[in-house]
Amino acid sequence: MATDRPNILLIMSDEHDPRVMGCYGDPVVQTPHMDRLANEGIIFDAAYTSSPLCAPARASFTAAQYVSRCGAWNNDCRLPSDDYPSVPHALNAVGYECWLGGKMHFDEKHRYGFKDVYGGVNDEVKTGTGPRRAFDDVSESSRGWEGRVAQFHTGDTSRVLEKDRAVTRECSGFLRDRKADDKPFFLLAGYLAPHFPLIVPEEYYERYRDKVPMPEIPEGFLETLPTNYKHLRAGFGISKATPEQTKLGRELYWGFANWLDDEIGKLLGALGDSEVAENTVVIYCSDHGENKGDHGLWWKNNMYEHASRMPLIVHYPERWTGGQRRSGACSLVDLAQ
């Protein structure tokens, strides 16, 4: 079925602070493949998540609604039903085939209009409920921080590394097999990196050892944090983080962003070798950012720029002139719509 409608390849990473990208101004990190997308495309400087937490952000994008409208508040949530209005349902209705390759934090029984490129992912059982920390619980958890910092090290294998290698392999195969006269497709390649555990191959860590600046936290700043962010520090045990742990974690995170860029480069190489390269819009974004020790916080779950801002690049040189930047605010919901 020949068509002049473009294919869409959406590459969505997990927990990527845009400040750790060359095209967003970081002088240390090496992200040449994403930088090339930006140089040949349009980069959005003020793109924000609709929730600084994985599952709500992804549900919000899928439904093209804010979390307050689709009811996704925590990582145990799902959209109300498989036929709930969604981006893939809308695209399927106008002749697209919608495919999911990799993470979207979906319930095992719901795809909302996507078909899986391969199995074994998005197989969680979501009840729609989740634990809450009592508002007056100010106790500090050492176990939460110790468990996560134990996974600040180099290595060639991990849950994230293996799953992301599968995303690259399977989505690359999908692109190479696609024919120019096939129905237009929407392929969502869902990477987990640079989400913790911060385990990266040694070569990527070595590129950043002693090169990543430490977070700047003024004296007395932590005492001025909003109450919920103080709870966040206590609940994760972040107050127990040492300077040495923070330094190592940041160096590994920079290396992980570099590793992710190389995986994306392989995927883009497969697209370039395919019959559909010239008629495919490529979009890169993340579900939210990562604190990396900034503001005395790690992971996400807050509205500081490091956690709430996300990268957004749109690449389609066949129609849009490259090298453009947009400064207006936008969100995952805007991208979906």
Instruction: Report the pLDDT value the prediction gives residue 127, as an integer from 0 to 100.
Output: 81
% of the chain residues with pLDDT over 70: 98
C-alpha closest to that of 267 among 102, 112, 105, 111: 102
pTM reported for the whole predicted model:
0.96
Query: What is the pLDDT confidence band of residue 2, given thresholds at 50, 70 and 90?
Result: very low
Minimum mean pLDDT range among 13-22, 102-111, 243-252: 102-111
DSSP string, 181-244: TSPPEEEEEE--TTSSS-EE-HHHHHTTTTTSPPP---TTTGGGS-HHHHHHHHHHTGGG--HH
Q: pLDDT (tens digit, 9 = 90+) per residue, 188-218?
A: 999 999 999 999 999 999 999 999 999 999 9
Residue 330 has pLDDT above 70, yes or no: yes
Query: What is the pLDDT confidence band of residue 154, given thresholds at 50, 70 and 90?
Result: very high
Average pLDDT of the chain, as a whole number: 94
Q: pLDDT (tens digit, 9 = 90+) per residue, 125-135?
A: 888 776 777 77
Instruction: Report the pLDDT value the prediction gives residue 124, as an integer from 0 to 100.
Output: 87
Instruction: Provide the total of helices (H) and of strands (E) in the chain, helices listed first.
Output: 11, 12
Residue 38 has pLDDT above 80, yes or no: yes
Instruction: Report the pLDDT value the prediction gives residue 100, as an integer from 0 to 100.
Output: 98
Instruction: Report the pLDDT value the prediction gives residue 3, as an integer from 0 to 100.
Output: 53
Instruction: Report the pLDDT value the prediction gives residue 123, as an integer from 0 to 100.
Output: 87
Residue 310 has pLDDT above 50, yes or no: yes
In whole angstroms, give the CA distance from residue 151 to residue 162: 15
Alpha carbon 188 to its chain's center: 12
Minimum mean pLDDT range among 75-84, 137-146, 278-287, 303-312: 137-146
Instruction: Report the pLDDT value the prediction gives residue 1, as an integer from 0 to 100.
Output: 38
Q: pLDDT (tens digit, 9 = 90+) per residue, 156-179?
A: 999 999 999 999 999 999 999 999
Structure tokens at 179: 């024919």
Say which DSSP state 140 is in.
P
